[in-house]
Amino acid sequence: MLSVVSGAVLLGFQYALLALGVYISFRILNIPDLTVDGSFTFGIAVSAVLCASGHPFLGLTAAVLAGFAAGIVTGFLQTKAKIHPILAGILTMSGLYTVNITIMGAPNVSLIGKKRFYDGFASLFGENSSGDLPKMILAAVICAICVALLIMFFKTVLGLCIRATGNNKDMVRASSINTDITTVTALAISNALVALSGAVIAQTQGFADVNSGSGMIVIGLASVIIGEVIFGKRSLSIGLVSAVVGSVIYRMIVAFALETNVFSANALKLLSAVIVAVTLSVPAIKNAISDRKMKREGMKNA
């Protein structure tokens, strides 16, 4: 059972980077960005190829830049080509499939026996170097650094402009702020985090698959929503932390569901979709209930 928990927490921190990226696009910018599925695999592909060539750290850096570029493409399609945000994400995601398989040169890439980015840190743990603990600590540190940097960034002038763009784009335009720049920047940062998540996961698991990104947007949304259920929608700082916590809790739910055979592995994406759909529909359900109560009270008073 301990191994199940440690494995779930490890995956939770790794996918938390994905959740942070989804939080930026979905909650801060208020744009449903479907580029996520493609940029996640983009990070996997770039990281795996460079890691297989003996450059694991360069793989992480290049993956971040690759995801950043993918976000710029989606942002350009939205702002300059005036394509609907959902369709722009789908177009970028579709194009990235060809890019990813071209980079990898095959549908799968194995990293068994290759040097990974965490090897040096894991060696400090001696006999436990091959366990989940060093990987978990390193993943948690990466998440903490990303959260801290994001909190600082969104307190800058550009960061505040991005937040304002998500709240009221017309007001921002009236203030002579270029919303195209804020939108593209936010999407670029979002997909850079998503690609970093894929890069870390690829090197940790020891393989890369061109179809690994399927359903990542749903997993990211589920993590964000679970975190919001626990912490509520308060400040930006709490929102970013809640996305990380939500990712860990989501992975623990999945791990226990598989361990107890409550759900099969094939049902996980359906479970994630149901969680997201139910949670997103809660406000509409509450409004419907309150409307019915008001109608009943109105009929009684009539």
Q: Is the pLDDT of residue 127 over 60?
A: no
Q: Please, are residues 246 and 19 in contact by the beta-carbon 8 Å criterion?
A: yes
The model's pTM is 0.90
* Residue where the block lists tokens 């060696």: 123
Q: Is the pLDDT of residue 207 over 80?
A: yes
At 7-21, the pLDDT tens digits run: 889 999 999 999 999
Q: Please, are residues 203 and 57 in contact by the beta-carbon 8 Å criterion?
A: no
Give a yes or no: residue 292 inside a domain. no
Number of domains in the chain: 1
Give a yes or no: residue 247 inside a domain. yes
Give a yes or no: residue 11 inside a domain. yes
Q: What pLDDT, on the 0 to 100 scale, is given for residue 1?
A: 63
φ and ψ of 109, to 5 deg: -135, 125
Q: What pLDDT, on the 0 to 100 scale, is given for residue 143?
A: 95
Q: Considering only 129-143, 146-160, 191-205, which range has the smallest mean pLDDT?
A: 129-143
Residue 218, domain CATH: 1.10.3470
Kindly state the average pLDDT of the residues 149-161.
Answer: 95
Give a yes or no: residue 228 inside a domain. yes
Kindly state the average pLDDT of the residues 174-183.
Answer: 91
Provide the mean pLDDT of the chain.
88
Distance separating alpha carbons of residues 242 and 147, to the nearest angstrom: 11
Give a yes or no: residue 296 inside a domain. no
Give a yes or no: residue 257 inside a domain. yes
Q: Is 123 exposed, middle or buried (0-12, 13-18, 19+ CB in 10 A)?
A: exposed
Q: How many helices (H) and strands (E) does the chain have?
A: 12, 2
Residue 159 — pLDDT band, cuts 50, 70, 90? Answer: very high
208's enclosing H/E stretch is: strand 207-209
Q: What pLDDT, on the 0 to 100 scale, is given for residue 288?
A: 82
Give a yes or no: residue 109 inside a domain. yes
Q: Is the pLDDT of residue 65 over 80?
A: yes
Find the Cα–Cα–Cα–Cα dihedral 224, 228, 230, 232, rounded to 10°. 160
Which structural domain, as residue segments, surrounds residue 215? 2-262
110's enclosing H/E stretch is: strand 108-110
- Greater confidence (290 vs 29) lies with 29
Kindly state the average pLDDT of the residues 205-216.
Answer: 88
Kindly state the average pLDDT of the residues 58-68.
Answer: 96
Q: What pLDDT, on the 0 to 100 scale, is given for residue 176?
A: 86
Give a yes or no: residue 280 inside a domain. no
The token pair that represents 241 in the structure block: 């932390």
